[in-house]
Every structure is written in structure tokens, then in C-alpha cells.
Amino acid sequence: MSKVFIIGGAGNIGRHLCKYLALHGHAARPLHRRPEQAETLRALGAEPVQGDLLQLDDTALASLMQGSDVVVFTAGAGGKGGEAMTNAIDGQGLEKAVAAAQLAGVQRFLLVSAFPEAARGKALSETFENYMRVKKAADVTLAASALQWVIVRPGTLTDDPGSGHVQAGLAIPYGNIPREDVAGFLAALVDEPRVKRVIIELTAGATPIADAVATFA
């Protein structure tokens, strides 16, 4: 059993991940900001940890992570709050989480990033371009660390039910993927610690999730 600390644990991917980790026999420890979110997370089999990523410093976040085996970062501003919030959560929040994991002695770190071709060919706002810049900078920060990291770059996220099947590779065609299948892929990565220091692009596909993860082991 692994103890998995989830930053963004109350979000859509985070909640699905809590469910899958419980099914896999792991202990999910989702970080959540609002007290009322705890009951929902407990109902998914998780052990909620209350805290605000924006308010915690490296040391305080490390204290909450203490005893965990894996950190999953799936937090994001989601376009709310403009560039300042994206910078604070997707950028500085990730930097803080990487520093905290190292302080807490947690070696494994899984990051949900962004597909490089996201929304290309469309008229993009400067806010979106900033989002992509911040996501790439976050990838660079994690990849430069001494952690045993995996960066997952999913295509356009949907709320469709997960199929349990994906397409995963170092470089694949752009496409959509249900958030539930991203969570399933993350849970399978927790089960396969041999997968490390690799960037994986992820979309909907025909390969069972466990088989897709095994190709990187």
C-alpha cells in the first residue's frame, strides 16, 4: 500500500483518483481547501488533508506531506482568476510542491501537465498562451529536480465516463480524454514505480490502462 498525497485532491481528476486509489488498496490523502469538501472525499475512501496551497509555505506543505510515498500534483486554476491565479497555482504552486516533497523526503512525484498542441489552430487568448508557458515552465522545474518524476500530458479533458482504455506515448496525435481515465492512468502509475523520469502524452485510445503504463516500465 502506498500513501498518496494529492494536490488538487478536491478537483475533478483528484476525486476520481481518490476512488481508484482506494480500489487499488492505496491510501489517498487529498489536499482540500474548504472544510465542507472533506465529507465528499471521505466517502470516496480517502483521508482528507485540509490546507490551502496558496497560503502554505514550503515547510508547512512538507509537514502535511510527511509520511507519504507519492505526491500527485493535479491542481490548476482552470482559467479562473486570470494570469495571476494561473501563475500562483500552476506555476508557483508546483514549484512549492516540488520543494516540499524534497523537504518531506517523498521521492515519487506525478504531475498532470498540458498537451503541447492544446487548442492549436484556434484563436488563442493571451491568457491561454500564458497558461501554456506556465505549464511548460512547471515541467522544466520538475524535470530538473532530483525526484523520481513522471509528467503526464493529457489531451483536452472531458467529463465523459472513463473507458479504461487510453493511447499513451512519448509523442502521439492530439485528442480528447475523459478526466476519469486520466485518474485511472495516475493510479496505475502509482502501482508501477519502475516508471520514472519520462514525459507521457495521453489521449483516449484502445489500450487497457494497465498495459499502457507497463510499456514505460
Cα 59–64–69 angle (5° rounding)?
A: 110
Which ranges in 24-125 belong to alpha helices (H)? 37-43, 58-65, 82-86, 94-104
Mark whether 131 is an active-site residue.
yes
Instruction: Report which of 160, 157, 171 is spatially closest to residue 74, judged by C-alpha positions.
Output: 157
Q: Is 145 within 8 Å of 99 (Cβ atoms)?
A: no
CA distance 190 to 194: 10
Helical (H) or strand (E) element with 203: strand 198-204
Tell me which of 20, 73, 109, 131 is the catalytic residue. 131
Residue 100 burial (10 A CB sphere; 0-12, 13-18, 19+): buried
Residues 6+ apart with CB under 8 A from 42: 48
Return the active site residues.
131
